[in-house]
Amino acid sequence: MYGHIHASALRAIARHRIADHLAQGPRTAHALAAATGLDAAALHRVLRLLATRGLFAEHGDGTFALTEAGHDLRSDTEGSQLPRILLFTDEMFRRAADGIEGTLRTGEPGFDAAYGMPFFDHLAATPDKSHVFDQAMTALTSGADEAVADACPFPESGTVVDIGGGRGGLLRQILTTHPGLNGILFDQPGTLADHLLDGDDLAGRWHTQGGDFFTTAPTGGDLYLLKNVLHDWSDDDCLRILTTVRHAMRPATRLLLVDAVLPGDGTPHPAAALDIVMLMTLKGRERTAAEFEDLLTRSGFRLLRVLPTRALSSVLEAEAV
């Protein structure tokens, strides 16, 4: 019942970059307050609360230090959680969560009721929120990119088509790991404008293509990817996406779905929380392997296997039939 208090305290600490100020070692709340223009007594109390969550260590001399987990709050570290924190503690998600009571009655996202429009329409209308979202998605999935690139059996040559690939973090990792491959990054033009594929190391091995994956997809690829796309959408919308992708593929071409896979037997899984994020903001959901297989079968694919990774997501390998 205190969850929202911890989240609000975390957001405040993240917004004021307190972890960055502790990067060089322990400091008192008074020293931190002097460096950031904050109230020392209030800051001490908030840090003390977050120390109970393992993000900071409170010492007997009145100083606070970063724990191993707390280092992920820094803005200058690889794998920083800061963009994710700033997104998921944003008022967009707080207001959507407040609507869960109504969602239980209607099944409709609380976000739509709070803002009068769907989530992605709101992002399109608010560039600052869209930027926060894009940065958070890059941070959210960056750890999975290496895990997926390592877990999947990629061919030595050919073209990988990343459908809805965002800024291209996964495609970049794949092309870096497998120098015989080329790639196509397919997404909305606005998202592609901020892609991550530039650099001499990948020169001449990729291009971007703008479009809507509900209606079109690049043809002629040797391997297709859908990473963290289907969980954003209802079953009907997923079938539209998968059918569009299938029409672009030759028979026997492989499709790799990268998404969290919920256990079918009720075993606790971290993606259960992400499923509620989907419930309150979108009409998507996290799915079991059996639910993914049903969608794939109905859209012209055969599920071959499910590959776990070191990250939250698994890889479902399918084949066009």
Out of 16, 44, 195, 231, which one is annotated catalytic?
A: 231
**Are β-strands 254-259 and 223-227 bridged in parallel, bridged antiparallel, or unpaired?**
parallel
Cβ atoms of residues 186 and 219 within 8 Å = no
- Which residue is it, tokens 């209030």? 42
Give the Å distances, CA to CA, from 308 to 152, 193, 260, 304.
10, 32, 9, 13
Residue 256 parent element (H or E): strand 254-259
Residue type, 158: G
Q: DSSP string of 99-146?
A: THHHHHHH-S-HHHHHHSS-HHHHHHH-HHHHHHHHHHHHHHHHHHHH
Distance in angstroms (rounded) separating the CA atoms of residues 84 and 318: 30
Instruction: Give strand pairing partners of 262.
Output: 288
**Six-digit token pair at 178?**
């497998």
The question of whether 44 is a catalytic residue gets the answer no
Degrees, nearest 5: CA angle 283-284-289 = 150
**Are β-strands 223-227 and 301-308 bridged in parallel, bridged antiparallel, or unpaired?**
unpaired
**Of 78, 186, 92, 73, whose CA–CA distance to 132 is shortest?**
92
Angle between helices 29-36 and 40-51 (to 10 degrees): 120
Catalytic site residues? 231
